Amino acid sequence: MNEVVTAPVTIAPIDELAVLRLTGADTHTFLQGQLSADVGRLTHQHSQLASLNSAQGRVQAVLRLVADGEDVLLVLPAELRARVAERLRRYVLRAQVKVDAEPADWACYWSSGTASAAGIEPPAESAGAASANAGRIAIRVAAHEDRWLLLAPPGQAEPASRDGSAAWRLAEIRAGHPQVYAPTWETFVAQMLNLDALDAVSFAKGCYIGQEIIARAHYRGAVKRRMVRLRVAGAAPAPGTRILAGDAHAGEVVYGEVADAGAECLAVISLARLGDALKLESGSDLERLPLPYAIE
């Protein structure tokens, strides 16, 4: 790894995100049988996006895996941390794995732009690239933008820094990155959230919880709903908000955030309804916006 400067970094906390730590000799093998992605691809230079699923193939959480020595850190919404920890512990059985739901040594921040990244080694220009320096881990979450998820000890942000969760959510929406929250736990299958297009699903690694349903949708061409990006003139819609085409149900909001003019959101929409005029259940019209990657 190249030597880098260690000047202070201007960063903003992401209070809505939290970290789980998994330790033990069987951690990687255990996660390989739990998550949609190939955990074997996780390295200190590459983080990995994945989903945790029910036996019926429904996504319970979207996770970013980060290597920390021999341990694995899982980054996820803080509101799901205890629920995901409990879900994982149910499957540990005799495996040598410990799930630490509240690791005291890591908190989540974000930084973007050259100036604010002065004290870290910017990861390579590929999605998921990671680098560690001076007690911090930086992850480039999208290849097309200079934006980093930073894992660092609590208290790393400057005193004047305010919660950056809203700005982070909007950037994630514009990157087309899905997230699951409590209202949408087990609402979507991985492909509905475009996780296959984001390299978060492996169709070659073998069995994991929910694999049969996810693989069947892939090989039988049974994906009938996909995630798209939308603009709404009004408040940001909550996760799970219904979307209509006329009077017919067309889909649900994944999550939304206030933008320059109104709000933007990601939503899972029936492919048969993508050409229709869409609106929120409240009546607000929706305009489709582009995603920075292709979906089938």
pLDDT in tens, 269-280: 999 999 999 999
Paired residues of 50 in beta bridges: 63
Rounded to whole angstroms, how far apart are CA atoms 283 and 293?
A: 29
Query: Which pLDDT score, from 0 to 100, does residue 157 have?
Result: 74
Query: Which pLDDT score, from 0 to 100, does residue 63 have?
Result: 98
Rounded to whole angstroms, how far apart are CA atoms 15 and 162?
A: 10
The pairing of beta strand 248-258 with beta strand 71-77: unpaired
Query: Which pLDDT score, from 0 to 100, does residue 4 have?
Result: 37
Q: Structurally, what CATH architecture does the domain formed by 12-162 represent?
A: 2-Layer Sandwich (3.30)
Residue ranges per structural domain of the chain: 12-162, 182-289
84, two tokens: 């995901």
Span 160-181, pLDDT tens digits: 678 899 999 999 999 999 999 9
Report CA torsion sign: 164, 239, 128, 102: positive
184 burial (CB, 10 Å; 0-12 / 13-18 / 19+) is buried
Q: Which residues of the chain have pLDDT under 50?
A: 1-9, 115-118
Query: Which pLDDT score, from 0 to 100, does residue 47 have?
Result: 97
Query: Which pLDDT score, from 0 to 100, does residue 159 have?
Result: 66
Same fold, 12-162 and 182-289: no
- Residue 68 to residues 20, 246, 247: CA-CA distances in angstroms? 12, 50, 50
The H or E element spanning position 87 is helix 81-89
pTM above 0.85, yes or no: yes
Rounded to whole angstroms, how far apart are CA atoms 67 and 218?
A: 29
Q: 24: how many CB neighbours lie within 10 A of its CB?
A: 17
Q: 227: how many CB neighbours lie within 10 A of its CB?
A: 23
Question: Which fold is adopted by the domain 182-289?
Answer: Elongation Factor Tu (Ef-tu); domain 3 (2.40.30)
The H or E element spanning position 211 is helix 211-219
Q: Which are the contacts of 75, defined by CB distance < 8 A and separation ≥ 6?
A: 17, 18, 19, 63, 64, 66, 108, 149, 151
